[in-house]
Amino acid sequence: MPRTSPLEQFPDLGPSSHQALCPAGITSEAQLRRLGAVAACAQVKRSSARVSLVAPARPP
């Protein structure tokens, strides 16, 4: 069962991610997980042109 906590409590998201997701209508961890990364990014890009993707560094 997905957690429904607000994004502020999601440890993997920083303030910039939160500021991009909320105006796009993504306000909970459950919504973010349900959408998935690609759909969430597309939704954020539709709501704001000032968004870029930064992939996490891969371990050596």
pLDDT digits (tens, 9 = 90+) for 7-18: 888 777 888 888
Confidence of residue 41 (pLDDT cuts 50, 70, 90): confident
pLDDT at 48 over 50: yes
| CB atoms closer than 10 angstroms to residue 26 | 22
Q: What is the pLDDT of residues 16-31, one digit of tens each?
A: 888 889 889 999 988 9
Mean pLDDT of the 52-56 span: 61
pLDDT at 44 over 80: yes
* Residue type (1 letter), 27: T
Q: What angle do CA 23, 29, 30 make, to 5 degrees?
A: 110
Model-level pTM? 0.70
